[in-house]
Amino acid sequence: MTGLDRGGLTVILIGPPGAGKGTQGALLATAFGWERLVTGDLLRSAIREGTELGKRARAYMDAGDLVPDELMIALVQERLRGFPFDRGVVFDGFPRTVAQADALSVALPSVERSLDAVLLLEAADAVLVKRIGGRRSCPQCGRVYNVYSDPPISDGSCDECAARLDHRKDDHPDTVRHRLKVYADLTEPLMAHYEDRAFPVLRVNGEGSLEQVRTAVVGALTSHLGVEV
């Protein structure tokens, strides 16, 4: 075995909204050449493109509810088939329910993969609400900023493509509180689900700076997998 860049690793990132899954998933993908499967991004681009999936998903997302399992499972099954076997993959935002976890445990072997790690990013609700309140994203390239911790150079527009930054509808305070409740009710049970199957959940404190969290994430993965960075 070599490091985290060895072929075919499969890692799930779980965490409440605002815990930093997107940021940490992107850092892992860049550092180790992994693919990312980001269900929130797939849904947002389906909405932008006006596809059937986008039309069906939109109302759930705007309300801060989960999109029904059968739509999500079909989406992920289709995406997984296109992934190169020799590259790692990090799941960001899937699974979010026990039914999705069960479907994934069937889908992975069908594409000759197996699960290597489940990593949970934890943060207190007050930290999450503040972070999400500051979050802005580019509707064109998808880059995410935070007005407190990672602002764009020019106020309100994207550094990469100059598009006007959006405050996602589901990032408004009432919807965020609802999303946290949905997370507690439907996604938190995943931890017991994996642990009951003797699959350890790697718990990482997501409250620090981007760099502190990155170091903790890489440390947890390397010690769990018994590899060097």
Residues within the interface to ligand AMP (CB under 6 A): 17, 39-40, 43, 60-61, 64-67, 72, 93-94, 96, 100, 170, 179
Residue 201 structure tokens: 């959940």
Those residues whose C-beta lies under 8 Å from the C-beta of residue 189, and which sit 6 or more positions away, are 98
Strand ranges in the chain using DSSP code E only, listed in sequence order: 10-14, 35-38, 89-92, 117-122, 135-137, 144-146, 201-205
- Dihedral sign, CA of 46, 49, 51, 54? positive
Q: What whole-number distance in Å separates Cα of residue 91 and Cα of residue 98?
A: 15
- Cβ 223 to ligand AMP, closest distance in Å? 27
Catalytically annotated residues? 21, 96, 135, 168, 179
- Cβ 172 to ligand AMP, closest distance in Å? 12
Q: Which is nearer to ligand AMP, 34 or 94 (CB)?
A: 94
- Cβ 36 to ligand AMP, closest distance in Å? 12
Rounded to an integer, what is the distance from CA 154 to the centroid of its chain?
Answer: 27
Q: Which is nearer to ligand AMP, 71 or 227 (CB)?
A: 71
| Residue of this chain nearest to ligand AMP (CB atom) | 40
Q: Which is nearer to ligand AMP, 17 or 206 (CB)?
A: 17
